[in-house]
Amino acid sequence: MSSGSGVQYYHHGRFRLAGGVLPDAITAYRTYGDPANPCIVFPTCYGGRVDRDQEYMIGPDKALDPSKYYIVTFALFSNGESSSPSNTPAPYNGPYFPDVSYEDNIRAQYAVLTKELNVKKVYCAIGFSMGGQQAYYWPVVYPDFVEKFIPICGSARTSMHNKCFLEGPKAALVNSKDFENGFYTKEPQFGLRAFGRAYSAWAYGQTWFREHGYLLGDQNSSLEDFLRTQWEGGFLGTWDANDLVTLLHTWYYGDVTLVGKSTFRAAHEEDGFTSTLSAIKAKGLIMPCKTDLYFPPEDSEIEVSLMKNNSKLVIIDSTWGHMAGGGTNIRDDEFIQAEVRAFLES
């Protein structure tokens, strides 16, 4: 663990989002290290919080070393720390909370960096999963502000295959008998349990179960134990259902070609994918996992082929699927950190 600033909150005042305007939008963040050092932005993923989940990459013996870098971790809108359906007062509470895009999050993070922290340039934007998609957005939204970017198990846009997956857990949650169209007055346990089970199917690679057992190598456990403990238990008492839906919506509509457009509902109406990626100035280290079912390496290969900035593709050779990128096991974590460290120092 590395000591940081503790969670801080930046008040934007009135802030435009893709689905409307919040009268007092809030971005939660933490800082590590000396502000005089090169700045690294490290935003959260789906299910990530700055108060507990980012430090697997931060420390004197880790890739993001606070003695070398000024590290700023950011909480996504709707993660329960930044402005979210669960913590925003009426009339924007719960199901009335507006839709949020990745671009909204990047604009908010930029405001914190420039207005509050006096950061003049970001040396690197790095993230895992939804954090990786934000890393892709940074050099597109602010092309002259970012020098490097590292998406780990992420993508420049959410593929149709990925969207099909997202429809499963979303349907399980919003159609449950206790979700009540988002107007629930107590935790919708049926919906959250169903959501967790539907979400579990793609988290690990296909060979992970065979090689590691259901509960991280415990051969005495069962599939039911895995689903109940790891997935139902991971959301119950921890996540607000409306927060999960709004976050999922941000993920669903992730697409760097939509930056600057007035709405993100018309995804893929005009495909500028090649021109958008080829225009990226920042140098990237693109790190998919070989067995990731959310963001397969084939998509990353296409993305790197379209970039003209000597970006590098490094595939994580792991059976852990999407979970390889989130600090869940020593072998993959050591491999990722070594590659990140070398890229940052190059």
pTM for the full predicted model: 0.93
pLDDT at 269: 46
Active site residue 24: no
Q: Which CATH architecture has domain 163-248?
A: Orthogonal Bundle (1.10)
Those residues whose C-beta lies under 8 Å from the C-beta of residue 279, and which sit 6 or more positions away, are 140, 143
pLDDT at 1: 43
pLDDT at 261: 74
Of 129, 155, 176, 311, catalytic: 129
Of 78, 300, 311, 322, catalytic: 322
**Nearest 5°: phi and psi at 252?**
-55, -45
Active site residue 218: no
The helix/strand/coil state of 221 is coil
Q: Which CATH architecture has domain 8-157+269-345?
A: 3-Layer(aba) Sandwich (3.40)
Those residues whose C-beta lies under 8 Å from the C-beta of residue 209, and which sit 6 or more positions away, are none
Of 292, 299, 332, 333, catalytic: 292
Tokens for 81, please give them: 């720390």
Those residues whose C-beta lies under 8 Å from the C-beta of residue 8, and which sit 6 or more positions away, are 28, 29, 30, 31
Which of 280, 241, 282, 223 is CA-nearest to residue 257?
Answer: 280
Quick one: residue 70, left, alpha or beta (phi over 0 = left, psi -120 to 50 = alpha)? beta
Those residues whose C-beta lies under 8 Å from the C-beta of residue 152, and which sit 6 or more positions away, are 126, 127, 128, 129, 131, 132, 287, 325, 336
From first to last of its 346 residues, what are the pLDDT tens digits of the chain?
A: 456 779 999 999 999 999 999 999 999 999 999 999 999 999 999 999 999 999 999 999 999 999 999 999 999 999 999 999 999 999 999 999 999 999 999 999 999 999 999 999 999 999 999 999 999 999 999 999 999 999 999 999 999 999 999 999 999 999 999 999 999 999 999 999 999 999 988 877 666 665 555 555 555 567 788 788 888 998 999 999 999 999 999 999 999 999 977 555 444 445 689 999 999 999 999 999 999 988 999 999 999 999 988 899 999 999 889 999 999 889 999 999 999 999 999 9
pLDDT at 272: 86
Active site residue 262: no
Q: Which helix (H) or strand (E) holds 28?
A: strand 20-32
CA 269 vs CA 17, 164, 266, 288: distances in Å: 20, 18, 6, 27
Return the domain boundaries, the chain.
Answer: 8-157+269-345, 163-248
Tokens for 268, please give them: 């893929």
Which of 160, 140, 159, 104 is CA-nearest to residue 284?
Answer: 140
Q: What is the pLDDT of residues 250-263, one digit of tens each?
A: 999 999 999 977 55
